[in-house]
Amino acid sequence: MAKAAVAGVRGMNDVLPDETPLWEWFEARVADWLRSYGYRQIRTPVVEHTEVFVKGIGEVTDIVEKEMYSFEDRLNGEQLTLRPEFTAGVVRAAIEHNLTYEAPRRLWSIGPVFRHERPQRGRYRQFHQVNVEALGFAGPDVDAEMIVMLARLWRILELPGLRLELNCLGQADERAAHRADLIDYLRRHETSLDADARRRLHSNPLRILDTKNPALQALVAAAPHISAYLGADSRRHFEAVQSLLAAAGIGFAINSRLVRGLDYYNLTVFEWISGDLGSQGTVCGGGRYDPLIERLGGRPTPAIGFALGVERLVDLLRAAGAVEVAAGCDVYVLHQGGGTQARAFVVAEQLRDAGLDVILHAGEASLKSQMKKADASGAEYAVIIGEAELADGTAAVKSLRAGASTRAFAQQTAVALDRLADSLVEALAATEPELR
């Protein structure tokens, strides 16, 4: 009896070879964009001590309460967690290596993160973030710069139509006063709350403002909002961010119910949302987190950051169809007959020395079947070495692109081996860019 095939883990995706060119295109643009704003990459482990996230993100958050992949190291009993976000780990590393000791730092990361959520389109259990942190900056100029740089990214990626929502969460004492009044208000309406809201009433009442339950919308709209509790400094900070954005021509909406799902935020928080992704439309979320570095044991240091959801952005890029990514190589080398394989090995290496991307046919097969593989590879040119070519020191070159009768090697042509690399480099340079 055949064994049942093994399967991937639910909510964790394979990115297949046909999709990786789009990911690589995205990643290359993101790396250039971050460099142009002075950000440098930091790579932290996928696994941290669980307490990094419990202390950092906050005990009473969905992530820490129910979404973390945590386990005990069988060998030494340490409590470990697969990162559900980057920020806490990056801050842990910055403290451990004194990164903010002498000067502020602009840092970015990319990689997988893990949350045990219910999978649906745009929501996965392993997903990828581009994470960006500015450590040691009190703002509000850096708050605005982060948003301006995101607006530039949408232009680079040609993704118009993303909407920006902003809020100011004030400082801890302002939130405490708001929270007390909010609990008071919600308690007076306790019978109208759903089970989830009732559970959060005392633990995390701010998250009730974020509820998706249609039956609670009116109640939540009439609840006390943080904006009424902001002191003069918080209000000045928020106004400065807004006027810098207005000066930069960036449109936004203030959403006083935007609280974010992580506990470390203060002052500015923001999200960029697409209307084309269904219920999981937020492609970027972030904000200021001045209390976090001290909370994780560092010296008090202001900071702000955001993360992009890579799957959601790749989904938008795919749907926009604007990105033509060539997946093929330059040359496919075929060989047939005694001694030709060894020559083909040498020729393929010489072409690579000249900077070409080359696939060398592996194994033995008829020329016809090798030609099919060459076509399917996406290569621009086939280089054929048969016994006749072996004998007279040439290779036969043939364009693999149909309908290109004006291109070099539209007809199969013999080329002396010592001219082969140069001829192919010239032919490729002359190829119309939209085909490459």
Burial class from Cβ neighbours inside 10 Å (0-12, 13-18, 19+) for residue 234 reads buried
d(C-alpha 137, C-alpha 268), whole Å: 13
CB of 132 to ligand HAM, least distance (A): 7
d(C-alpha 270, C-alpha 183), whole Å: 24
* Minimal CB distance residue for ligand HAM: 309
Residue 352 contacts ligand HAM per CB under 6 A:
no
Nearest to 304 by CA among 294, 295, 291, 317: 291
Burial class from Cβ neighbours inside 10 Å (0-12, 13-18, 19+) for residue 70 reads middle
Cβ nearer to ligand HAM, comparing 307 with 331: 307
Burial class from Cβ neighbours inside 10 Å (0-12, 13-18, 19+) for residue 209 reads buried
Exactly one of 48, 85, 174, 263 binds ligand HAM (CB under 6 A); which one?
A: 85
Residue 312 contacts ligand HAM per CB under 6 A:
yes
CB of 204 to ligand HAM, least distance (A): 15
d(C-alpha 198, C-alpha 216), whole Å: 12
Residue 39 contacts ligand HAM per CB under 6 A:
no
Residue 58 contacts ligand HAM per CB under 6 A:
no
Exactly one of 61, 81, 87, 336 binds ligand HAM (CB under 6 A); which one?
A: 87
Residue 311 contacts ligand HAM per CB under 6 A:
yes
Each residue 279-308 as x (binds ligand HAM by CB under 6 A) or -, in order, gives ---xxxxxx-x---------------xxx-
Cβ nearer to ligand HAM, comparing 274 with 336: 274
Exactly one of 58, 170, 309, 328 binds ligand HAM (CB under 6 A); which one?
A: 309
Tokens encoding 50? 């669980």
Cβ nearer to ligand HAM, comparing 285 with 328: 285
Tokens encoding 279? 């219920």
Q: Segment 106-135, which members bind ligand HAM (CB under 6 A)?
A: 115, 117, 122-124, 127, 129, 131, 133
CB of 263 to ligand HAM, least distance (A): 11
Q: Do the beta carbons of residue 269 and residue 287 sit within 8 Å?
A: yes
Cβ nearer to ligand HAM, comparing 85 with 389: 85
Cβ nearer to ligand HAM, comparing 277 with 408: 277
Which amino acid makes up residue 375? D
Q: Do the beta carbons of residue 268 and residue 239 sit within 8 Å?
A: no
d(C-alpha 2, C-alpha 320), whole Å: 43
Cβ nearer to ligand HAM, comparing 245 with 283: 283
Each residue 228-267 as x (binds ligand HAM by CB under 6 A) or -, in order, gives ---------------------------------xx-----
Residue 105 contacts ligand HAM per CB under 6 A:
no
- Four-residue CA torsion sign, 287, 291, 296, 297: positive
Using only C-alpha atoms, the chain has a radius of gyration, in whole angstroms, of: 28
Binning the chain into helix, strand and coil, the percentages to the nearest 5 are 40, 20, 40
Cβ nearer to ligand HAM, comparing 59 with 426: 59
Which amino acid makes up residue 13? N
CB atoms within 10 A of CB 83: 26
Each residue 375-394 as x (binds ligand HAM by CB under 6 A) or -, in order, gives --------------------
Residue 83 contacts ligand HAM per CB under 6 A:
no
Cβ nearer to ligand HAM, comparing 127 with 409: 127
Q: Which residue has the tokens 């009896």?
A: 1
Cβ nearer to ligand HAM, comparing 287 with 298: 287
CB of 36 to ligand HAM, least distance (A): 20
d(C-alpha 420, C-alpha 414), whole Å: 9
Question: How many residues in the chain?
Answer: 436
CB of 284 to ligand HAM, least distance (A): 5
Render the burial of 255-269: b for 16+ CB within 10 Å, e for the rest: bbbbbbbbbbbbbbb
Q: How many residues bind ligand HAM (CB under 6 A)?
A: 27
Residue ranges in contact with ligand HAM by CB under 6 A: 85-87, 115, 117, 122-124, 127, 129, 131, 133, 261-262, 282-287, 289, 305-307, 309, 311-312
